[in-house]
């Protein structure tokens, strides 16, 4: 990306009070939440900025901030983000969720209101340096501050702008590269713009047809280049207003907490467009990222000291919520590992067998550097990002964790599987990870290989055929 991702919009402070709810109150039919633990994080445009920083992107957040305790906490929480503040009168918006057993029981909102000062020279300079711009307009005044919308409209002609609209926010500026409403937002915006209400009941219109109709209406209404309607578990539909729309299906995942999934989608799309990818490619990336984010625990996947650049779906802590849920329900976490360079039938057979041993399969995947040390400078043939994506696409795989070490011992200590599945050549012998497994009572088992299947053999066969073909043609192509 030629410049930073600049995020423009309203920031608030989100606070989760999470505890256990095991009984009802004797004086009212409400759950009693015991021993709640408070965790604060940026919300709104601030959450989007934090996500982008976790991706390793250079991020600038242009947002209205007041001078109160909540605003000071937000600045502390926005690690890795350069904050360019527009002056705000009034209290910072704070939203508190009370949660137990993965469910939100209550939300308390305080603050909000006040007037936002106009576009500052620092904010204008940040916008003009952007490689791409993401607008998260929650209707609290940042985008409509004096000069901000006008500057966004001017820049849309030369800088990719992604607009994540919200019911209380204003319309995107004409020329916006991509607008990302969810299904309900798209329908509401289209109706508000004069499009007739949905006809699904009368015509058996499906969700994709409805999304296409609403997207096309919004393209004309807003004069933007593309509208991607997000459909939750259905993925997303991208329309340019002419020709066949593009659909990006979502992988099947267990949704732990959907809060922030729309932000995750928009951030990924904005980063991809800034890197020169086509809108259809950006939407596909965004669907995959949003699915990984909700499966990894939603906002919880951003907690702790995750290294910048580690995607939520590939981080050990990111998958912790799903693994812990399996354990709480009495299930068994299984892990296996390897390079999985050129995935073949033998790999699939081993992974399928490993998954049958339990209820959640974690694949510990050697990073590119680790593979090079183990297999030589010509390997891997497939980069780790693609290897991980292929593995995640398998129905038997629940989680992929990439590790840099020569052995998976350290990552196993963090995943703590009940079963560690190794290849059949370890049958009857001690596995190198045995000592680590003993620390938590894990069990190593050996799984049979499919005879004659190996990546090394496949590579050797391909090279042999290429050599013979070259010899037959005299080296001419």
CATH number at residue 226: 3.40.1190.20
Query: What is the average pLDDT across 121-139?
Result: 96
Instruction: Please state, in angstroms and rounded to a whole number, the distance separating the CA atoms of residues 125 and 82.
Output: 13
Lowest mean pLDDT among 77-81, 94-98, 273-277, 449-453: 449-453
Q: Is the pLDDT confidence value at 308 over 60? A: no
How many angstroms separate the CA atoms of 391 and 372, rounded? 19
Verify cis geometry, omega within 30 degrees of 0, for the bond prior to 380. yes
pLDDT at position 476 = 53
Cβ atoms of 230 and 182 within 8 Å: the answer is yes
Name the domain count of the chain: 2
The whole-angstrom separation of Cα 268 and Cα 285 is 7
Does residue 472 lie within any of the structural domains? no
Instruction: Please give, one letter per residue, the 3-state secondary structure of 172-195.
Output: CCCCCCEECCEHHHHHHHHHHCCC
Residue 166: phi and psi, rounded to 5, are -135, 155
- Model confidence over 183-192: pLDDT tens digits? 999 999 999 8
pLDDT digits (tens, 9 = 90+) for 425-446: 555 567 889 899 999 999 998 8
Same domain, 88 and 145: yes
pLDDT for 378 = 80
For the entire predicted model, the pTM comes to 0.67
Answer whether residue 306 is part of any domain: no
Tell me which residue range forms the domain holding 133.
5-24+31-300
Tell me whether residue 291 is in a domain. Answer: yes
Q: Any idea what DSSP says for residue 291?
A: H
pLDDT tens-digit profile of 224-245? 999 999 999 899 999 998 888 9
408 pLDDT above the threshold of 50? yes
Domain with 431 in it: what CATH number? 3.40.50.620
Higher pLDDT, 82 or 298: 82
The verdict on 187 and 225 lying in the same domain is yes
Q: Are 71 and 335 in contact (CB under 8 A)?
A: no
Nearest Cα residue to 48 out of 10, 4, 18: 10
Distance in angstroms (rounded) separating the CA atoms of residues 136 and 342: 40
Residue 315: pLDDT above 70?
no
Domain annotation covers residue 233: yes
Short-list 412, 295, 331, 322, CA closest to 365: 412
199 and 89, same structural domain?
yes
What three-state secondary structure class fits 149? helix
Do residues 310 and 269 lie in contact, with contact meaning Cβ atoms separated by under 8 Å? no
Under 8 Å between Cβ of 32 and 24 = yes
Residues 293 and 183 grouped into a single domain: yes
**pLDDT at position 287, please?**
94
pLDDT for the residue 203: 47
| Mean pLDDT score, 296-301 | 74
Domain-ending residue, one of 266, 300, 334: 300
Q: Output helix, strand, coil percentages for the chain, rounded to the nearest 5.
A: 35, 25, 40
**Angstrom distance (rounded) from CA 474 to CA 471:** 5
Task: Please provide the average confidence, as pLDDT, over all residues in the chain.
Answer: 86
Q: Minimal CA–CA distance to 66: which of 94, 44, 38? A: 94
Q: Active-site residue numbers?
A: 263
Residues 82 and 227 in one domain: yes
How far apart (Å, rounded) are the C-alpha atoms in residues 183 and 156? 25
> Domain check: are 143 and 238 in the same one?
yes
Residues 189 and 291 in one domain: yes
275 with 367, same domain: the answer is no
Query: Residues 8, 133: contact at Cβ < 8 Å?
Result: yes
Query: Given a cut of 60, is residue 105 above it in pLDDT?
Result: yes
- By three-state DSSP, how is residue 360 classified? strand
Which pLDDT belongs to residue 465? Answer: 60
364-385 b/e with 16+ CB inside 10 Å = b? bbbbbebbeeebeeebbbbebe
410/225 Cα distance (integer angstroms):
47
Which band of pLDDT confidence, cut at 50, 70 and 90, is reported for residue 87?
very high
Residue 32, both tokens: 């009693």
Contact, 443 vs 419, CB < 8 A?
Answer: yes
pLDDT at 6: 98
Helix, strand, or coil here: 300?
helix
Task: For residues 229 and 356, state if they share a domain.
Answer: no
CA atoms within 13 A on the CB side of 231: 24
**Contact in structure between 93 and 111 (CB atoms under 8 Å):** yes
Statement to judge: residues 246 and 332 lie in one domain: no
Alpha carbon distance 258, 295 (integer Å): 8
Alpha carbons 325 and 297: distance in angstroms, whole number = 10
Assigned domain for 263 exists: yes
Whose CA is closest to 214, among 192, 247, 233? 192
Residue 366's pLDDT band (boundaries 50, 70, 90)? very high
Last residue of a domain, one of 247, 268, 300: 300
| 428 CB burial (10 A radius; 0-12, 13-18, 19+) | exposed
Cα–Cα dist 390/398, whole Å? 12
Rounded to whole angstroms, how far apart are CA atoms 408 and 364? Answer: 7
Phi, psi torsion values for 476, nearest 5 degrees = -90, 150
292 and 333: one domain? no
Residues in contact with 8: Cβ distance below 8 Å, sequence separation at least 6, in sequence order? 45, 62, 63, 127, 133, 134, 135, 136, 142, 143, 148, 152
Distance CA 367, CA 379 (A): 11
């Amino acid at each position: 990306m030629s410049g930073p991702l600049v995020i423009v919009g309203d920031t608030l402070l989100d606070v989760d009070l999470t505890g256990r709810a095991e009984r009802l109150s004797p004086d009212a039919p409400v759950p009693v939440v015991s021993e709640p633990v408070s965790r604060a994080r940026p919300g709104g445009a601030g959450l989007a900025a934090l996500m982008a920083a976790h991706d390793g992107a250079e991020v600038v957040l242009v947002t209205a901030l007041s001078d109160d305790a909540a605003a000071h906490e937000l600045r502390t929480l926005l690690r890795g983000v350069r904050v360019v503040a527009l002056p705000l009168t009034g209290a910072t918006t704070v939203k508190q969720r009370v949660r137990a057993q993965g469910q939100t029981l209550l939300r308390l909102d305080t603050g909000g209101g006040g007037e936002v000062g106009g576009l500052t020279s620092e904010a204008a300079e940040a916008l003009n340096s952007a490689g791409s711009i993401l607008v998260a307009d929650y209707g609290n005044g940042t985008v409509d501050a004096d000069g901000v919308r006008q500057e966004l409209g001017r820049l849309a002609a030369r800088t990719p702008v992604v607009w994540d609209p919200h019911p209380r926010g204003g319309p995107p500026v004409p020329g916006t590269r991509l607008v990302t409403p969810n299904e309900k937002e798209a329908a509401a915006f289209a109706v508000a713009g004069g499009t007739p209400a949905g006809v699904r009941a009368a015509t058996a219109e499906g969700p994709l047809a409805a999304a296409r109709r609403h997207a096309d209406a919004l393209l004309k209404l807003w004069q933007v280049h593309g509208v991607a309607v997000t459909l939750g578990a259905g993925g997303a539909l991208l329309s340019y207003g002419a020709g066949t729309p593009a659909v990006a299906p979502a992988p099947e995942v267990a949704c732990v907490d959907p809060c922030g999934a729309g932000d995750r989608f928009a951030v990924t799309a904005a980063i991809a467009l800034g890197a020169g990818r086509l809108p259809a490619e950006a939407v596909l990336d965004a669907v995959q990222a949003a699915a990984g984010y909700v499966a990894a625990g939603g906002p919880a996947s951003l907690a702790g000291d995750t290294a910048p650049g580690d995607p939520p779906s590939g981080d050990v802590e990111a998958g912790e919520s799903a693994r812990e849920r399996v354990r709480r329900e009495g299930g068994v976490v299984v892990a296996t590992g390897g390079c999985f360079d050129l995935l073949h039938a033998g790999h699939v057979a081993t992974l399928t067998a490993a998954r049958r041993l339990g209820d959640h399969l974690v694949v510990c995947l050697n990073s590119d550097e680790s593979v090079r040390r183990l297999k030589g400078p010509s390997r891997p043939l497939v980069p780790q990002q693609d290897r991980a994506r292929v593995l995640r696409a398998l129905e038997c795989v629940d989680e992929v964790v990439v590790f840099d070490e020569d052995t998976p011992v350290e990552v196993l200590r963090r995943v703590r599987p009940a079963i560690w599945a190794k290849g059949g050549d370890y049958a009857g012998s001690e596995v190198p990870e045995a000592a680590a497994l003993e620390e938590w009572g894990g069990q190593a088992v050996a799984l049979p290989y499919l005879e004659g299947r190996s990546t090394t053999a496949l590579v050797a066969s391909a090279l042999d055929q290429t050599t013979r073909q070259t010899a037959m043609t005299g080296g001419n192509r």
